[in-house]
Structure 1
Amino acid sequence: MKNIFVISLIAVILLQTFSKVVVLADYQANKAYIMEFLCINRDKPELKCEGKCHLTKKLKAQHDSDKQANERGQKQEVQVNLFYQCMFAFSARRFATMVSYPSVYSCAYRSVTYHSIFHPPRFIV
């Protein structure tokens, strides 16, 4: 019983998500019936409508219903900044000491030590 409920719930969510695909699949499956009975231009074969007028009408109705559902469920929009660019860059190069170690490799190892940052704490008495 629980599995049937879960499967039906997943099916309903997928149908809602892919509603336009369902409308297009229904059009392709019933194209002959739509051309013969539902098409507005069935009296004018020179237009070669082939039921596209009915498809356009269905897609517009689907779009309108989606738009109304979004407007009903729409809440206040909140903008979140995910990128922050610092306007001022801190540079401690005047306190830095470049140490270079000789090596046989083409790219020598270098390290930068900041003497002003890395020191033992001082106690003021």
Structure 2
Amino acid sequence: MKNFFVLTLMAIMLLQTFSKVVVLVDFQANKEYIMEFLCINRDKPELECEGKCQLTKKLKAQHDTDKQANERGQKQEVQVNLYCQSLPVFTSYSPIAIVSFLSNYSFSHTSVAYHSIFHPPKTIV
């Protein structure tokens, strides 16, 4: 059931997209009937219309329908920025500068591990 629903929606979308092609195929399939019964110029064989008047009428009607659908479906454009032009400023700090209160304990230890982990990659040549 789900596959049938999906295939039906796809067929409707494709028919809407290729509506002019559908009109042309319909004209070619029913050309004899159109020439004999629907053509405006069927009484004037010297014009050699062969139903092209009906084809032109159907294509114009299809064009007008598409134009009306586009006018109804037009929406206001919304611009969304997906990137940031300015980079945020990161301030670096040293762990020793943060602990600046008075104490009897001497801070002789430096943060060697902090600088040994976070460094630019080295290229091996």
Q: TM-score, normalised by structure 2?
A: 0.61
Bigger share in strand:
1
1:69 aligns with 2:60: no
Partner of 1:10: 10
Distance in 1 between the 2:13 and 2:38 partners?
Answer: 29
Specify the code of the residue in structure 2 equivalent to 1:19.
S
Q: Percent identity?
A: 85
Q: Write the mapping of 1:41-80 to structure 2, written as runs, cut at 5 A.
A: 41-77=41-77
Whole-Å separation in 1 of the counterparts to 2:28 and 2:48: 16
Counterpart residue identity of residue 41, structure 1? N
Flag the 1:79–1:28 CA change in 2: closer, same or farther, 3 A: farther
Amino acid at match of 1:52: K
Structure 2 CA distance for aligned equivalents of residues 53 and 79 of structure 1: 45
**Aligned counterparts, 1:83-102, within 5 A:** none
The 2-side partners of 1:58 and 1:78 are apart by: 36
> Unpaired segments of 5 or more residues in structure 1?
81-125
Q: Give the root-mean-square deviation of aligned CA atoms.
A: 1.5
- 1:76 deviation in Å? 2.4
- Hey, what's the Cα distance between the residues in 2 that align with 1:28 and 1:9? 26
Change (3 A) 1:79 1:40: farther
Deviation of 1:78 (Å): 6.3
**Stretches (4+) displaced over 6 A:** none
Q: Does the C-alpha gap of structure 1 residues 79 and 31 become closer, same or farther in structure 2, counting only changes over 3 Å?
A: farther
Q: Which amino acid aligns with 1:2?
A: K
Q: In structure 2, do the counterparts of structure 1 residues 38 and 78 end up closer, same or farther at CA, with 3 Å as the change threshold?
A: same
Higher-Rg member (1/2): 2
TM-score under structure 1 normalisation? 0.61
Q: Could you say what secondary structure the match of 2:9 adopts? A: helix
Q: How many residues align?
A: 80
